[in-house]
Amino acid sequence: MSLSNSASKLQAIRWARPRLDILDQLLLPHASTYIDICSSADGHRAIATMQTRGAPAIAIVAALSLAAELLGSSREKVSQLNTEAASAFIEERLDFLATSRPTAVNLFDAIRKLKAVVRNAATNNDDVVGAYVSAAEAMLAADVADNQAIGRLGAEFIRQRATGNELKVLTHCNTGALATAGHGTALGIIRSLHNSEKSLDHVYFSETRPYNQGARLTAYELLVEEIPATLVCDSAVSALLRSDPSIRAIVVGADRVARNGDTANKIGTYQLAITAKFHGRDFIVAAPTTSIDLDLASGAGIVIEERSQDEVLTTEGYDIESVLSGGELKRAAVRVAPVGVNAWNPSFDVTPADLITAVVTEKGVFVKAEGTKEFDLLQSLANL
């Protein structure tokens, strides 16, 4: 079976049973290099080192990396186990994959569902590996379909609320084909707006220091899709909103949305939501329901990943000669802060529900009940 994110020109995840290849996002935008992921150990490494990133992509690469292992290097070993032991082996590998990154709930949601599938197969004396691989493949396909629905629903919502002739939006981090199985969430809405009859006038996107997912990855996706766009410093957004009232909405993705709508997303999202409110613009969170953590009443319980302070103390890029020559790409970190200074580097922050206009999922667009400051996503999903 061969599945890939054919919804987009960019393919971050390529799966053709039993082979998994991922686009190395550490080399983008200057080199498009695929890496073969043969095992859960490879998957764990690719996620922890950010060769693959973005909440939905992390979950799918984790799931498929173990599928590749079960059809490859562990095939013989697992074939000799009874169904109980095969299920226990798979669950142990899933527990290991769960330690790769802590904040995006999609990974834990996928692991919970995959464990249920293998336990069920073991109880019924079914083919545990077959059941696992089919379920992992179904996650890849579902994510593409979910993102297309998010794109359509979000684009409709933004268009309905937009006043004036021009429509511009701003986004943060990277939430496109590279961060998902295809199309993207917030960037999927932008893609859908651009492809709609009345095209989007312009997109602004923030560089997203310190990892530069905006400057490197969103820039690349927007170029490939030929969507008119301008990069701004994270610190330029308030000035930009004040100068251009046709920027109607800020659209972002999510790593984990609590029941009340509090949303963990890339660091800097919270301050964007504050400035959106101050300037009277919509602040829209786009996320598949796999990013909603119904076990969490609020964002207070979300574990925020802290990354190395070196990411803040330095600026990472690529040696310009190696980029221009098209030869071997050389990554280079340039020290900015003086030696001896410390830095705090949380990878995500939590935006309170109060600042969020709507949560766009594949199942519908959720808003707060009149006069309330929080969403009731449990109820909203139950009402569908």
Task: Out of 23, 26, 55, 133, name the contact with ligand MRU by CB under 6 A.
Answer: 55
Task: Out of 20, 26, 78, 104, name the contact with ligand MRU by CB under 6 A.
Answer: 104
- Binding window for ligand MRU (CB under 6 A); candidates: 47-55, 110-118, 229-237, 364-372: 47-55
Q: Is the peptide bond before 56 cis (omega within 30 degrees of 0)?
A: no
Give the footprint of ligand MRU on residues 57-96 (CB under 6 A). Answer: none
Q: Which residue has the tokens 């939430």?
A: 175
Give the footprint of ligand MRU on residues 110-169 (CB under 6 A). Answer: none
- Binding window for ligand MRU (CB under 6 A); candidates: 54-62, 153-161, 274-282, 351-359: 54-62
For residue 249, state whether it binds ligand MRU (rule: CB under 6 A).
no
Measured CA to CA, the distance from residue 257 to residue 377 in angstroms comes to 9
Q: How far is the CB of 53 from ligand MRU (least distance, A)?
A: 3
**Which of 74, 72, 104 minimizes the C-alpha distance to 88?**
74
Beta bridge pairs of residue 282: 249
Q: How far is the CB of 231 from ligand MRU (least distance, A)?
A: 17
Q: CB atoms < 10 A from the CB of 233, how many?
A: 13
Task: Out of 3, 13, 46, 54, name the contact with ligand MRU by CB under 6 A.
Answer: 54
- Binding window for ligand MRU (CB under 6 A); candidates: 26-34, 50-58, 277-285, 336-344: 50-58
Closer of 248 and 266 to ligand MRU (Cβ): 266
Task: Out of 179, 251, 284, 302, name the contact with ligand MRU by CB under 6 A.
Answer: 179
**Which of 204, 223, 305, 293 minimizes the C-alpha distance to 257?**
293
- Binding window for ligand MRU (CB under 6 A); candidates: 111-119, 228-236, 252-260, 352-360: 252-260
Nearest position to ligand MRU, beta carbon: 253
For residue 56, state whether it binds ligand MRU (rule: CB under 6 A).
yes
Task: Out of 5, 40, 265, 275, name the contact with ligand MRU by CB under 6 A.
Answer: 265
**Which of 72, 57, 234 minimizes the C-alpha distance to 139?**
57
Q: How far is the CB of 267 from ligand MRU (least distance, A)?
A: 8
Task: Out of 102, 214, 253, 261, name the contact with ligand MRU by CB under 6 A.
Answer: 253
* Number of residues this chain uses to bind ligand MRU (CB under 6 A): 17
Per-position b or e across 332-343, b if 16+ CB within 10 A of its CB = eeeeeeeeeeee
343 touches 270 (CB < 8 A): no
Q: How far is the CB of 365 from ligand MRU (least distance, A)?
A: 17
373 touches 298 (CB < 8 A): no
Q: Tell me the CA distances in angstroms from 200 to 47, 194, 207, 208, one per residue in order.
A: 33, 5, 21, 22
> HSE (CB half, 13 Å, CA atoms) of 321?
0
Measured CA to CA, the distance from residue 284 to residue 293 in angstroms comes to 18
- Binding window for ligand MRU (CB under 6 A); candidates: 5-13, 229-237, 249-257, 315-323: 249-257
Closer of 83 and 290 to ligand MRU (Cβ): 290
Sign of dihedral through CA atoms 364, 359, 12, 39? Answer: negative
Residues present in the chain in total: 384
For residue 175, state whether it binds ligand MRU (rule: CB under 6 A).
yes
**Which of 220, 286, 226 minimizes the C-alpha distance to 253?**
286
Per-position b or e across 157-189, b if 16+ CB within 10 A of its CB = bbbeebeeeebbbbbbbbbbbbbbbbbbbbbbb
DSSP string, 45-69: HHHHTTSS-SHHHHHHHHHHHHHHH
Question: Which listed residue (24, 255, 282, 293) is catalytic?
Answer: 255
Give the footprint of ligand MRU on residues 332-371 (CB under 6 A). Answer: 347
Give the footprint of ligand MRU on residues 196-235 (CB under 6 A). Answer: 213
Catalytic-residue membership of 255: yes
Residues 6+ apart with CB under 8 A from 295: none
Q: How far is the CB of 356 from ligand MRU (least distance, A)?
A: 14
Task: Out of 14, 93, 248, 266, name the contact with ligand MRU by CB under 6 A.
Answer: 266
Q: How far is the CB of 38 from ligand MRU (least distance, A)?
A: 22
Residues that bind ligand MRU (CB under 6 A): 53-56, 104, 173, 175, 179-180, 185, 213, 253-255, 265-266, 347
Q: Name the residues annotated as catalytic.
A: 255
